Amino acid sequence: MAPRPRLNVNVGVLGHVDSGKTSLARAISEHFSTASLDRAPQSAQRGITLDLGFSSFLADFPDGTAPETLEAYDGVQFTLVDCPGHASLIKTVLGGASIIDLMILVVDANKGVQTQTAECLVVGEITTDRLVVAINKIDAFEESVRDEKVGKLTAKLANVFSKTKFKGCAMLPVSARPGGADSQALNDGGPAPIGIEALKATLMDVIPEVKRKRDGGGAFLFAVDHCFPVKGQGTVLTGTTLRGGIKVGDTIEIPHLRLEKKIKSMQMFKRPVESCARGDRLGICVAGLDADVLERGLVCEPGSVPTFNAAVVSANKIRFFKSAIKCGSKFHVTIGHTTVMATVTFFGDAPKDGQDAMADAMASISLGESKFDKSKEYKYCAELLSEVEAKEASEYAGGINNVYDAPAFARYALLEFEQPITVPTDELYIASRFDTDIHANTCRLAFHGKLLQHMNTEKDPNAFRALRVFKMKSREGSIERVQDARTVIGKGMFKKESDLTSFIGMKVWTSNNECGVIEGGFGKSGKYKVYFSNGIKGEGDGKLVLRFKKYVFERDAPKMQQIGL
């Protein structure tokens, strides 16, 4: 009989430099190993170090307390992903974003919220629904005042978090390493960590949620965090299954190398397995692969990960980012394990047909946060988001966007990458500014979102034709005379030499809000005929307004330069 699988829960451990992330990850694992010393047969399975930055512990259900729903599993394993410095933090966390089930945000009790605490919080908001705050180093407070000091800090932090989607999240005081580096390690008889059991009990709350999340299909996708040769066997790729599953004998692809390999064997927690599922930590063994060619990266079902150099994305500003974000500027865009420079063009939702709807749409777009350069990007609208997976776009805007307390902030962007990238098409991304001119103590994460549509202009020079991003334009003229009950002759909108052909069929409004259609030119002086199918009741003040769309990517779509409403 095949061994039962083990449910794996992935926990990102994030926080400001020196807040004690590694000490905490170690304390949780060490504490467990120490506690399990008298249960020798299992101890080998506990506190296994899976890879640099990855450690783990087995959930401990005292006899009879394991939920029935977990019967199909051979226990629950928590994998702690200790995220180090800032740059790698984003890569590590985004690389595994879809598998991080919850995040422990470590806050130094003596320092409170620091710059990177805020950055980590942003990463958490983007990538996970569950957050537990570990207020570390509480040993630094005298025992007589500890409760009072921790209480005050907790209240302060609760206020900070109340503005995020983690409002009301658990906050637990801990000391991962009482006395700090100067004290003896626990193994050497040093003081025991404080608050670890309570923290672990809180982590256990997430188990039912994780179980539900694991039932996901899709093409196999695997985030490799380590690659090494094993003598006589082949090359082993260790990592986390982001989605889908595979079996021994299946073929996998390393997409950025376009290299396909057959799976010889697989291991989970040091035991051979025949298949795997979403969320599993796994070692995949293949033959004939040079371990040096792949350090971190993706493995997928052959052909399921495309290469492209431009993408339409949803875009949400990160509220801690203080510099201007402008159309045409460049950002570092991190998608999975890939970071590449991209030029960005922002645009908003397309207005609905009709004048008022258009005014509404423009107004809601301009309600966004003030640091965007309003003179430019607010004028851009996209009409084909329905063709650009609008469903996903709206779901996404509805979910993530609310995090930022700016419901009207939903917008989209075109990212033009400096090099082609090979990443899954439904990934999250974060755009950041790592330039030196931005001082390191400000948030460098500028905006984020999800890939909606990808394009490869190297392969298809007309790729932007599908992307109908436009600016709203208007022209004003006046009624020269009413020709009959349904037709007026207008003037003052076009020059004598203008070619009116592209304006034929476009809608024109009177100041009474009656709508007619340009039928064609009239005479040779730039005059035109406007036909009102319902008849024209009155001239109003005699003004005629033409509103039309002018396409932003006209260089690629000359025929779509402008279209009337």
Ligand X SMILES: Nc1nc2c(ncn2[C@@H]2O[C@H](COP(=O)(O)OP(=O)(O)OP(=O)(O)O)[C@@H](O)[C@H]2O)c(=O)[nH]1
Strand, coil or helix: 482? strand
Alpha-carbon dihedral of residues 329, 321, 349, 326, nearest 10 degrees?
-20
- Residue from 14, 59, 120, 176 that binds ligand X (CB under 6 A)? 176
Q: Does position 21 bind ligand X by CB under 6 A?
A: yes
Binding part of the chain for ligand X, among 173-181, 254-262, 344-352, 522-530 by CB under 6 A, reads: 173-181
Q: Which of 17, 44, 198, 367 binds ligand X (CB under 6 A)?
A: 17
| 21 versus 547: smaller Cβ distance to ligand X | 21
Residue 177 binds ligand X, judged by CB under 6 A: yes
Q: Please provide the size of the chain in residues.
A: 565
CA distance 539 to 38: 94
For the chain, give the longest Cα–Cα distance: 100
140 is a site residue for ligand X (CB under 6 A): yes
Q: Does 29 bind ligand X (CB under 6 A)?
A: no
Contact 552, 470 (CB under 8 A): yes
Answer for which of 3, 151, 179, 407 binds ligand X (CB under 6 A) is 179
Contact 342, 421 (CB under 8 A): no
Three-state DSSP state, 398? helix
Secondary structure letter of residue 506 according to DSSP: -
- The answer to whether residue 139 forms part of the interface with ligand X (CB under 6 A) is yes
Q: Alpha-carbon distance 249 to 66, whole Å?
A: 35
What is the helix (H) or strand (E) element at residue 362, kind and residue range?
helix 355-365
Site size for ligand X, by CB under 6 A? 20
Q: Which stretch binds ligand X (CB under 6 A): 131-139, 228-236, 265-273, 346-354?
A: 131-139
Nearest residue (CB) to ligand X, 25 versus 210? 25
CA angle 313/83/139 to nearest 5° reads 135
Cα separation, 128 vs 149, in Å, equals 29
Comparing C-alpha atoms, which of 429, 417, 412 is closest to residue 345?
A: 412
Considering only residues 127, 175, 235, 339, which one is a binding residue for ligand X as defined by CB under 6 A? 175
d(CA 176, CA 18) in angstroms, rounded, equals 12
Interacting residue with ligand X among 5, 178, 336, 516 (CB under 6 A): 178
Task: Tell me the window of 11-19, 328-336, 453-461, 464-472 that interacts with ligand X (CB under 6 A).
Answer: 11-19
Q: Tell me which stretch binds ligand X (CB under 6 A): 16-24, 31-39, 367-375, 542-550.
A: 16-24
The verdict on 185 binding ligand X (CB under 6 A) reads no
In angstroms, what is the minimal distance from the CB of 172 to ligand X? 13
Write each residue from 74 to 103 as x if it is in contact with ligand X (CB under 6 A), else as -, in one continuous string.
----------x-------------------
> Exactly one of 23, 55, 235, 314 binds ligand X (CB under 6 A); which one?
23
Calpha distance 278→286 (Å, rounded):
20
Q: Residue 124 or residue 178: which is nearer to ligand X going by CB?
A: 178
CB closer to ligand X out of 180 and 272: 180
Q: Where would I find the beta strands (DSSP E) of 350-442?
A: 380-382, 411-422, 428-432
Which residues between 439 and 468 bind ligand X (CB under 6 A)? Answer: none
Please answer whether residues 75 and 59 qualify as being in contact, where contact means their C-beta atoms are separated by less than 8 angstroms: yes
Choices 43-51, 134-142, 430-438, 525-533 (CB under 6 A): range interacting with ligand X: 134-142
Q: Which stretch binds ligand X (CB under 6 A): 62-70, 172-180, 218-226, 252-260?
A: 172-180
Residue among 100 and 106 whose Cβ is closer to ligand X: 106
355, HSE (Cβ side, Cα atoms, 13 Å): 16
CA atoms within 13 A on the CB side of 33: 16
Binding region for ligand X (CB under 6 A) out of 170-178, 253-261, 272-280, 513-521: 170-178
CA 464 to CA 415: how far, in whole Å?
A: 12
Distance CA 341, CA 503 (A): 39
Q: What is the nearest approach in angstroms of ligand X to the Cβ of residue 180?
A: 3
Positions that interact with ligand X (CB under 6 A): 15, 17-23, 84, 136-137, 139-140, 175-181
